[in-house]
Structure 1
Amino acid sequence: MKKTGWIIVNGNLKTDKFIDYAKMIQAAAIKRHIDISIMKNNDILLDLSDKQPLHLHKQTYTLPDFAFFIDKDIYLAQYLEQLGIPVFNSSSTIEMSDDKIQTYQRLTSLDIPIPHTIIAPKIYTKGVLSDDYLQSIIHKLGIPLVVKEAFGSFGEQVYLVNNVEELKELTNNLQGKPFLFQSYISSSHGRDIRLQVVGNEVIAGMERNNNQDFRANITNGGDMKPFTPDQKAINIAVDAAQAINADFAGVDLLFGPENSYFVCEINANAHIRNLTECTGVNIADKMITYIERKIR
């Protein structure tokens, strides 16, 4: 019997990147003779009191064999799971990956290397961090240092701070938002590695370099080249993906001193176009093959 699937996208994010990602996954599924549809999250009516689950406006849909989730609508992902639909990645994985603080807490509990990290105390609405507190941060991490908001994508909401005045101004502006402080890894300034993990395997890798910014993201003007990871990098990337129970993830590693690596970020919804074009590896095909094995 022919398998069916949904690709869940956010109906309000109409950027080319998200549409392209969904179409890459759809094309890979069609090659495997899977009947798959791209579904907008805001077209699906989640009526918790209705006996007929999942309406698309006036039409009721047959539930799919799986859902490929290109979104951060955790409530929808959880509801699909409650209906018994396998979701890739799971709601809990997407939720943890989306929150850098939760991610780093999980990684450090498993002794997976991350930069020296300090979580900022919660400020609910108004309030500032004291000068003594900020001086303690500088004493621990040095200057320059990195500040990251807990939520953000494409290298945004990540800041390089060069002195105490900048640190004070930035933290004052972040009132009410969860954020953290991290040591600045000078050996990885403007460069990092993106390794794509599917299951327990690294299937592709690229090095990103940016001469104009401390962040290596292609979105911020970086360039890319294929990268063949050593076993140490492979082990860290796979361990990091498995730490958040990811079926697949783009794991970003920083170059540490003396051939070491630090996990910078785990992307449960990593866009794959750049990595596919850079390496020649059809990552969408690998993902769909993995899903087929899981739901068989």
Structure 2
Amino acid sequence: MAQPSCWIIYNGNLHPKKFMDFAEWTAKAAEKKGITPTIIKNNELLVTFKNGKSMISGSYTNSSPDFVIFGDKDIFLAKQLEKLGIPVYNSADSIEICDNKSRMYQTLADHGIPFPKTIIAPKVFGDLHDESHYYAIAREIGFPMVIKEAYGSFGMQVHLVENEQELLDLMKSLKNTEYVFQEMIKSSYGRDVRINIVGGKAVASMLRKSETDFRANVSFGGKTKPYTPTKEQINLAAACAEVTGTDFAGVDLLFGNDGSPLVCEINSNAHIRSIYDCTGIDVALHMMDFILNDLKERGPSHE
């Protein structure tokens, strides 16, 4: 059997080193598992419609991989690769669910998954002219309150508001940005648990804790240490991956006021260097093992 090949796709317009780092890290894991990887920018593969048909044009039209690791959120490109019959990990639908926090929480609620009290901000076009919903939201959630923009990574689009004026000011500055209002879980202030799920199983876990910020993200000064999750935490993280359809995911859990875990969010494109630095576990190797086994189960055309 010929050595399998894969494309590892990342966003060509994102310059932070961590995006290329993920692509290079997974490429090394692929090579260790006997897979030939090619790292490709998303803007080198153009979703094109011509003569009533859809296709991909660009630099790689004369080749096709056995599978794709999609380290980006270019949903229409992922969908087009799937239309061509190429297995994509994670799937376009699962990435789309996790990428938009409003849709993610709605999906979790459809399956009874516990997370902090959340309200999706009403749709705004342009500037905010009607803030009447603010009063009901303030009564329901109270202060301090967390505001999460629907799209964002590494905690960069997550805000903490302490009072009514801060909330109004932020609502006006966000304008037509999609976002959600969320209860602040005081018992989990500045700390959470990241569990990496691959193929429905927990393969690595770490505790993240910040002494200076309500967000535990490493990008905001959070420190990490290896963590042994409880059975309840493992089951909750695995359930998150299942209901969102992610083959692999980084699930962030909060410590609820009563001690039970709550879902903070699910990352379909979880970066894996920090958990390796913390635990010594290479999540990418587990990802490759899962993919190779999944291709075998799909049949000869994908082996």
Specify the TM-score bucket, using the shorter chain as the normaliser: over 0.9
- Alignment size in residue pairs: 294
1:120-142 per-position Cα deviation (integer Å, ceiling 9, x unaligned)? 11112233343x53222121111
Q: Is the 8 A contact 2:149 2:158 kept in 1?
A: yes
The match for 1:25 is 26
Q: Is the 8 A contact 2:115 2:263 kept in 1?
A: yes
Moved over 3 A (4+): 50-57
Matching residue's letter, 2:259: N
Structure 1 position 124 matched with structure 2 position 125: yes
| Matching of residues 192-203 of structure 1 within 5 Å | 192-203=192-203
| Matching of residues 21-60 of structure 1 within 5 Å | 21-49=22-50, 53-57=55-59, 60=61
Matching residue's letter, 2:126: T
The match for 1:227 is 227
SS in 2 for 1:60: coil
Task: For residue 61 of structure 1, report the CA deviation from its aligned partner.
Answer: 2.6
The match for 1:14 is 15
SS in 1 for 2:26: helix
Q: Is the 8 A contact 2:6 2:37 kept in 1?
A: yes
Work out the CA distance in 2 between the residues paired with 1:52 and 1:199: 31
Task: For residue 48 of structure 1, report the CA deviation from its aligned partner.
Answer: 2.4
Task: For residue 52 of structure 1, report the CA deviation from its aligned partner.
Answer: 10
TM-score by length of 1: 0.96
| Matching of residues 65-84 of structure 1 within 5 Å | 65-84=66-85
1:218-261 per-position Cα deviation (integer Å, ceiling 9, x unaligned)? 00111100110001000110001111100000000011122211
The match for 2:282 is 282
Q: Is the 8 A contact 2:195 2:205 kept in 1?
A: yes
| Matching of residues 209-288 of structure 1 within 5 Å | 209-288=209-288
Q: Is the 8 A contact 1:65 1:85 kept in 2?
A: yes
| Matching of residues 136-215 of structure 1 within 5 Å | 136-215=136-215
Q: Is the 8 A contact 1:55 1:61 kept in 2?
A: no
Work out the CA distance in 1 between the residues paired with 2:191 and 2:120: 24
Work out the CA distance in 1 between the residues paired with 2:271 and 2:99: 14
SS in 1 for 2:19: helix
1:117-162 per-position Cα deviation (integer Å, ceiling 9, x unaligned)? 11111112233343x5322212111111111111111101111110
RMSD: 1.5
Structure 2's unaligned 5+ residue stretches are 297-303
Work out the CA distance in 1 between the residues paired with 2:128 and 2:50: 41
SS in 2 for 1:45: strand
Work out the CA distance in 2 between the residues paired with 1:3 and 1:68: 13
Work out the CA distance in 1 between the residues paired with 2:56 and 2:123: 37
Q: Is the 8 A contact 1:198 1:286 kept in 2?
A: yes
1:7-54 per-position Cα deviation (integer Å, ceiling 9, x unaligned)? 011111132101111111111111111111001111123332288954
Task: For residue 82 of structure 1, report the CA deviation from its aligned partner.
Answer: 0.2
Q: Is the 8 A contact 2:240 2:266 kept in 1?
A: yes
SS in 1 for 2:228: coil
Percent identity, aligned pairs only, is: 45
SS in 1 for 2:211: coil
The match for 1:85 is 86
